[in-house]
């Protein structure tokens, strides 16, 4: 025997082997459709008996293995079922002849055979035959299962007759010597009349009868025969058959102790195999009397009339511990024979399956380790693949997951061995995928962001490289890109600098033909490969949402704050939702963004690669508001420190907007990186309110800019300074141009004055304006310009100012900051502001208005404010500050001076 059956288990010793094969040309799909229905009838209850007959089906079985049928009867093909297509009566004789030729292959051991013919109709199909069944088609064959049951009953009749024939002690008849194929030449010329030879014959026959009893469902009788065979064979040192007798004894005991089976099959076997109905109840009965059964007390049908026989079987049955000891003893006997390597290997596999049920993993591992080195003939590549796959499965069953993955990986490499003309890359890839759990490797990148790394990184990287190569040889570049991206993302910390360069270069080569995407890849076997975002290329350490520039920040109108407060609901404390409120408060930001304005998010990034990292098409991922992300391209130096990167975008609608993450394109792989998946990320909140679009106003004046600052501006305003020099009594016009550079119209204008100096007695009123001309130009549509004129007339009052000239002699002329625009800012409304045309609250058409404030004092400001109907100010103030200095002039009576006025405008 040269082909091992790695799927064998101990309970297979009680099965009858039936081979199902096609005759002629039969479509594979049709054949396996019928084979599945046939193999479903795998056990039947014997009529007029409480015994159960088990059937083992194979659609391929080496004929040379059939020659070992006398050594172990479950290896003998006792039934043959053939399936054929025959569409015409002319083809029938040739088809029937092929059926007979097929029977001759297993003719020496067959008990019975059947031929199932599909497609033949007419006179021939109407004939009633026992060995042939005719069916119109593969779909119209309802009686297949019934035919199989009748066929199994015919096998049982033959089996029972052979058992009775061998079990009956015919005094005077010479017992034949059963042999395995390689033994026949060794017994030529031996003395057949010697006592040693007769004991050998008796022992082998007892063992053979035990096999037949076990197949016939007589577990009790088989135990007795196996015990007798062990004693006889041990006395003559017939080690090969002694090992077979011990294995048979182990198999019967395993069937007794583990009626569900040890093969790990889907359906558990029924607890049958006894000739007595009370067996199941008496198996583990405490205090049961143990009596050894006398083999001579057996009747011809194998049923003992003595009621103590069932109790006595517990003595013949091995304990779970003894089962393994006897298996090891049998394996040691098999190892003495070079030609019994297959038997030895299969015995190891059966023992390991039993040890797996007994949870004795270390002993099972020792047996498997020995099975690896059992010397067989030169195996084919397919047989090697099967051998390593079964070893992997057995290691998995005993909990040795990494060892299981090791052998499965060897099987995968065997699929593409150089000696194979057509390498099976798909089979290799499938087996490699099955090794991933054994190496603590998952293809989901989220599993690598939860904590510390598990498993051996070097082995995992090697396995991922093999997956990349196998998928490329399969002709699936998208799969190669996904695996290579996964390797780069998850194993980046374990790659050397040279490996990082090699992997990224390979990735760029792959993505040049098939770019990496964020789509889910589904394999033919149903496995789904999630996308791999490059969250480490670059590494993001912090995310900060930036406020709008000071000139563009919205400002809440104070006149509407009271209304908003009155409409708020009363505060109600609830401890149930307090925690959620805290989380929402921590994520929401206290400033606002404006619809249509460019908004910024600052990222602090780090390049972990030993070379320059180019990040293309980097932009923001948002939710809640329609958002137009403006992509950016980065070029980060090798192993750079924290590097600030600003991503911008424009919200198109209003509401709450949440920054979920960012998207990148690195090495040809497009990634959507979510902030929730970034470990160690610092953020000041990711949710901000977007308010409706506001007007934008640009202001320019006719006065030149001043080179010096009159008064430092606060942080929430934008200011500039312009200057003018006037003498006492001189008048000049200040022309202010208001240009609407936004998309929203300005409908109203207010002008107010505010004092910035306490030296009220020094000057009189010197600013005046007429607002009617300017209001006539409103509403100011986008792109239009309105003109506002302020008259400056100097009036000095020097009465009661004796020390004024001395003070002014030391005075310093003042200049200011340049005017900057456009602007919009958040600022507190000034209480002193007195609107000329106050807005009507609640008016639907009151979208916006402008307010200008002027004050005729030493330092005063011009305040221009654009208001919207929702309570936000578009911009704050244009502040004009005036300060004087006396210039001495010659006069007969007294020295008089001219006043130099500097005006500072803040916008």
Residue 451 has pLDDT above 80, yes or no: no
| CA angle (67, 71, 72) in 5-degree steps | 100
Residue 293 has pLDDT above 60, yes or no: no
Per-residue confidence band for 305, with pLDDT thresholds at 50, 70 and 90 = very low
Same domain, 658 and 549: yes
Stretch 610-637: mean pLDDT: 93
So what's the pLDDT on residue 626? 94
Whether residue 350 lies inside any domain: the answer is: no
So what's the pLDDT on residue 63? 87
Last residue of a domain, one of 759, 776, 794: 794
Residue 376 has pLDDT above 90, yes or no: no
Stretch 471-495: mean pLDDT: 93
Same domain, 544 and 611: yes
Query: 729: left (phi > 0), else alpha (psi -120 to 50), else beta?
Result: left
Whether residue 325 lies inside any domain: the answer is: no
Segment holding 142, helix H or strand E = none
As to burial, measured by CB atoms within 10 angstroms (0-12 exposed, 13-18 middle, 19+ buried), residue 300 is exposed
Alpha-carbon gap, residue 367 to 799, rounded angstroms: 120
Question: What percent of the chain has a predicted confidence (pLDDT) above 90?
Answer: 47
Whether residue 746 lies inside any domain: the answer is: yes
Alpha-carbon gap, residue 266 to 523, rounded angstroms: 25
Whether residue 159 lies inside any domain: the answer is: yes
The domain of 754 spans 697-706+722-794
Per-residue confidence band for 698, with pLDDT thresholds at 50, 70 and 90 = confident
Stretch 392-405: mean pLDDT: 94
Residue 657 has pLDDT above 60, yes or no: yes
Whether residue 177 lies inside any domain: the answer is: yes
So what's the pLDDT on residue 872? 53
β-partners of residue 630 are: 648
SS3 (DSSP) at 138: coil
Same domain, 604 and 732: no
Residue 367 has pLDDT above 90, yes or no: yes
Per-residue confidence band for 852, with pLDDT thresholds at 50, 70 and 90 = very low
So what's the pLDDT on residue 585? 44
Residue 612 has pLDDT above 80, yes or no: yes
- Pick 904 or 405 by higher pLDDT: 405
CATH number for the domain that contains residue 548: 2.60.40
So what's the pLDDT on residue 271? 42
Same domain, 36 and 167: yes
Per-residue confidence band for 798, with pLDDT thresholds at 50, 70 and 90 = low
SS3 (DSSP) at 658: strand
Task: Compute CA 733 distance to the chain's CA centroid, rounded to the nearest angstrom.
Answer: 74
Q: What is the chain's Cα-based Rg?
A: 49
Same domain, 664 and 785: no
Highest mean pLDDT among 201-215, 268-282, 764-778, 851-865: 201-215
Residue 571 has pLDDT above 70, yes or no: no
Within 8 A by CB and 6+ apart from 601, the residues are: 543, 544, 545, 546, 620, 646, 647, 648, 649, 659
So what's the pLDDT on residue 760? 43
Residue 267 has pLDDT above 90, yes or no: no
So what's the pLDDT on residue 741? 85
So what's the pLDDT on residue 614? 94
Whether residue 297 lies inside any domain: the answer is: no
63's tokens: 């004929």
Stretch 334-356: mean pLDDT: 93
- Pick 258 or 187 by higher pLDDT: 258
Per-residue confidence band for 747, with pLDDT thresholds at 50, 70 and 90 = confident
Same domain, 134 and 207: yes
829's tokens: 């409304």
pLDDT, tens only, 549-568: 888 888 776 554 444 444 45
Per-residue confidence band for 816, with pLDDT thresholds at 50, 70 and 90 = very low
Per-residue confidence band for 249, with pLDDT thresholds at 50, 70 and 90 = very high
Mean pLDDT of the chain: 78
pLDDT, tens only, 227-244: 999 999 999 999 999 999
Same domain, 665 and 701: no
Last residue of a domain, one of 794, 825, 850: 794
Whether residue 904 lies inside any domain: the answer is: no
Last residue of a domain, one of 778, 794, 810: 794
Same domain, 678 and 731: no
Count of domains in the chain?
3
Least confident of 495-509, 601-615, 729-743: 729-743
Same domain, 173 and 216: yes
Stretch 95-105: mean pLDDT: 92
SS3 (DSSP) at 493: helix
So what's the pLDDT on residue 588? 64
pLDDT, tens only, 144-168: 999 999 999 999 999 999 998 887 7
Question: What percent of the chain has a predicted confidence (pLDDT) above 70?
Answer: 74
Residue 23 has pLDDT above 50, yes or no: yes
Stretch 709-716: mean pLDDT: 57
- Pick 491 or 859 by higher pLDDT: 491
Whether residue 252 lies inside any domain: the answer is: yes
Number of neighbouring beta carbons within 10 Å of residue 91? 15
So what's the pLDDT on residue 890? 35
Stretch 91-106: mean pLDDT: 91
Same domain, 179 and 58: yes
Same domain, 664 and 764: no
Same domain, 50 and 115: yes
Residue 299 has pLDDT above 90, yes or no: no
């Amino acid at each position: 025997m040269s082909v091992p059956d790695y799927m064998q288990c101990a309970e297979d010793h009680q099965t009858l082997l039936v081979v199902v094969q096609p005759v002629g040309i039969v479509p594979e799909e049709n054949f396996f459709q019928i084979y599945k229905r046939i193999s479903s009838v795998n056990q039947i209850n014997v009529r007029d008996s409480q015994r159960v007959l088990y059937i083992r089906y194979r659609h391929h079985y080496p004929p040379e293995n059939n020659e070992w049928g006398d050594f172990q009867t479950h290896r003998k093909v006792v039934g043959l079922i053939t399936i054929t297509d025959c569409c015409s009566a002319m083809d029938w004789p040739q088809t029937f002849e092929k059926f007979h030729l097929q029977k001759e292959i297993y003719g020496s051991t067959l008990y019975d055979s059947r031929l199932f013919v599909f497609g033949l109709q007419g006179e021939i199909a109407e004939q009633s035959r026992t060995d042939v069944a005719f069916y119109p088609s593969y779909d119209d064959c309802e009686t297949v299962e019934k035919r199989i049951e009748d066929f199994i009953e015919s096998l049982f009749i033959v089996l029972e007759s052979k058992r009775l024939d061998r079990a009956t002690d015919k005094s005077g008849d010479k017992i034949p010597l059963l042999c395995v194929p390689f033994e026949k030449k060794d017994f030529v010329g031996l003395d057949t009349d010697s006592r040693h030879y007769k004991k050998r014959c008796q022992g082998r026959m007892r063992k053979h009868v035990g096999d037949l009893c076990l197949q016939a469902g007589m577990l009790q009788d088989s135990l007795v025969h196996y015990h007798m065979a062990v004693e006889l064979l041990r006395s003559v040192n017939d080690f090969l058959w002694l090992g077979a007798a011990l294995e048979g004894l182990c198999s019967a005991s395993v069937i007794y102790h583990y009626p569900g089976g040890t093969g790990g099959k889907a359906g558990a076997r029924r607890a049958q195999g006894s000739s007595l109905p009370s067996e199941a109840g008496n198996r583990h009965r405490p205090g049961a009397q143990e009596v050894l059964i006398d083999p001579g007390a057996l009747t011809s049908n194998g049923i003992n009339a003595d009621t103590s026989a069932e109790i006595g079987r517990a003595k013949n049955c091995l304990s779970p511990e003894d089962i393994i000891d006897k298996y090891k003893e049998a394996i040691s006997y098999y190892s003495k024979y070079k030609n019994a390597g297959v038997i030895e290997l299969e015995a190891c596999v059966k023992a390991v399956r039993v040890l797996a049920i007994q949870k004795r993993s270390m002993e099972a591992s020792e047996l498997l380790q020995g099975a690896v080195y059992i010397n067989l003939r030169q195996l084919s590549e397919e047989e090697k693949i099967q051998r390593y796959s079964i070893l992997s499965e057995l290691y998995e069953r005993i909990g040795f997951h990494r060892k299981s993955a090791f052998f499965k990986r060897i099987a995968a490499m065997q699929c593409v061995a150089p000696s194979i003309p057509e390498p099976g890359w798909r089979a290799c890839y499938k087996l490699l995928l099955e090794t991933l759990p054994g190496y603590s490797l998952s293809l989901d990148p989220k599993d690598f962001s939860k904590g510390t790394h598990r498993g051996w990184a070097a082995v995992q990287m090697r396995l991922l490289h093999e997956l990349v190569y196998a998928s490329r040889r399969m002709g699936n570049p998208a799969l190669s890109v996904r695996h290579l991206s996964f390797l780069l993302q998850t194993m980046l910390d374990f790659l050397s600098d040279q490996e990082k360069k090699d992997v990224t270069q390979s990735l760029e080569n792959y993505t040049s033909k098939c770019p990496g995407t964020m789509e889910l890849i589904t394999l033919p076997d149903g496995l789904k490969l999630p996308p791999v975002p490059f969250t480490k290329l670059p590494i993001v350490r912090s995310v900060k949402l930036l406020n709008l520039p000071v000139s563009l920040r919205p400002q809440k109108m104070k006149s509407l704050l009271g209304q908003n407060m009155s409409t708020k609901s009363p505060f109600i404390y609830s401890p149930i939702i307090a925690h959620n409120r805290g989380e929402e408060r921590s994520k929401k930001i206290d400033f606002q963004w404006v619809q249509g304005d460019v908004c910024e998010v600052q990222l602090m990034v780090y390049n972990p690669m030993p070379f320059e990292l180019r990040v293309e098409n980097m932009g923001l991922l948002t939710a809640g508001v329609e958002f137009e992300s403006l992509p950016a391209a980065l070029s980060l130096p090798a192993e750079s420190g924290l590097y600030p990167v600003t991503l911008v975008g424009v919200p198109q609608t209003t509401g709450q907007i949440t920054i979920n993450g960012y998207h990148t394109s690195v090495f040809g792989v497009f990634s959507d990186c979510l902030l929730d998946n970034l470990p160690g990320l610092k953020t000041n909140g990711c949710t901000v309110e977007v308010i409706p679009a506001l007007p934008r106003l640009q202001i320019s004046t006719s006065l030149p800019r001043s080179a010096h600052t009159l008064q430092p501006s606060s942080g929430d305003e934008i200011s500039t300074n312009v200057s003018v020099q006037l003498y006492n009594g001189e008048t000049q016009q200040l022309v202010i141009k208001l240009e609407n550079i936004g998309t929203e119209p300005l409908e109203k204008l207010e002008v107010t004055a505010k004092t910035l100096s306490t030296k009220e007695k020094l000057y009189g009123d010197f600013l005046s304006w007429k607002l009617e001309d300017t209001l006539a130009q409103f509403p100011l549509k986008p792109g239009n310009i309105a003109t506002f004129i302020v008259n400056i007339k100097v009036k000095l009052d020097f009465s009661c100012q004796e020390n004024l000239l001395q003070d002014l002699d030391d005075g310093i002329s003042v200049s200011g900051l340049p005017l900057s625009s456009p602007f919009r800012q958040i600022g507190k409304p000034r209480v002193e502001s007195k609107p000329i045309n106050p807005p009507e609250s609640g008016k639907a058409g009151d979208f916006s208005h402008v307010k200008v404030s002027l004050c005729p004092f030493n330092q005063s400001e011009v305040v221009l404010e654009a208001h919207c109907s929702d309570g936000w100010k578009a911009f704050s103030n244009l502040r004009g500050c005036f300060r004087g200095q006396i210039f001495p002039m010659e006069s007969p009576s007294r020295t008089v001076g001219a006043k130099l006025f500097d005006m500072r405008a803040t916008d």
